[in-house]
Amino acid sequence: MPKFQEAWLSTAIDLSLPSAYVTAMAKLPIITLPDPILRTQSSPIERVDDETRRLIDDMLETMYAAPGVGLAAIQVAVPKRLLVVDTSDKDEPKRPIAMINPEIVQLGQTTRVYEEGCLSIPDVLVDIERPATVTVRYVDRDGKAQELNADGLLATAVQHEIDHLDGKLIIDFLSRLKRDMVVRRFKKQSRTM
Ligand code: NI
């Protein structure tokens, strides 16, 4: 079964980004379950400015360091409709994509099951069936309207991250019993920390 893990299981951290880029960015703490902020409905970004671009850079830095292939702003406690993804393989050049106010305009007919993980829910994997292809409209870091046709891992990653913007998590695809078990485990962990 193909896997989409927001967090790669490998602990290798790739620092192959140009150094000037790295030093300008800051790693942000990632919010994890059971923090209720993850259930926030994020609001649209009205103006793409330097502050937005800085947040994008910080989110990319945070995602690459995790390491992960996707991150939504709400996962770093910013309730704005913004996500970053990069589904390139480790030995490929990086392909960072930042989507501001992403909207799904079309979902493919066929579906595909990926085993998904989430940086906000460490060590939990859920088999999720989603449309195998997706067309997304969004605004890029320069404030320009863009449209992307995604398939494979990228299609799954984009749908996973857009779910975050609506406060939806991978555990919502589980039965209520299993979901409650996961939530209880994270509540217990957060009490002992
Ligand atoms: Ni996630």
First to last CA, the chain: 34
CA–CA dist 128, 137 (Å, integer)? 23
How far, in Å, from the CA of 160 to the mean position of ligand 1?
A: 6
Q: What is the DSSP string of 137-179?
A: EEE-TTS-EEEEEEEHHHHHHHHHHHHHHTT--GGGGS-HHHH
pLDDT band at 21 (very low <50, low <70, confident <90, very high): very low
Ligand 1 (ion): residues with CB under 5 Å are: 6, 118
How far, in Å, from the CA of 40 to the mean position of ligand 1?
A: 14
- pLDDT at 30 > cutoff 90: yes
CB burial readout 29-52, b (16+ within 10 A) else e: ebbbbbeeebebebeebeebeeeb
What's the predicted TM-score (pTM) here?
0.88
Q: What was the pLDDT predicted at 6?
A: 75
Q: What was the pLDDT predicted at 79?
A: 98
What three-state secondary structure class fits 58? Answer: helix
- Within the chain, strands assigned E span 3-5, 70-72, 82-85, 97-107, 111-118, 121-131, 133-139, 145-151
- pLDDT at 60 > cutoff 60: yes
Residues in contact with 73: Cβ distance below 8 Å, sequence separation at least 6, in sequence order? 42, 55, 59, 79, 80, 81, 82, 83, 165
How far, in Å, from the CA of 33 to the mean position of ligand 1?
A: 11
Provide the token pair at 77. Answer: 């406690």
* Catalytic annotation, pick one of 6, 61, 116, 161: 161
**129 belongs to the catalytic site:** no
Q: What angle do CA 16, 22, 25 make, to 5 degrees?
A: 145
Residue 133 contacts residue 112 (beta carbons within 8 Å):
no
Torsion of CA 98, 106, 159, 8, to 10 degrees: -70
CA–CA dist 85, 100 (Å, integer)? 12
Model pLDDT for residues 94-109, shown as the tens digit of each residue: 999 999 999 999 999 9
How far, in Å, from the CA of 6 to the mean position of ligand 1?
A: 6
How far, in Å, from the CA of 75 to the mean position of ligand 1?
A: 8
Enumerate domains of the chain plus CATH numbers. 3-192 (3.90.45.10)
Provide the token pair at 90. Answer: 């480790």
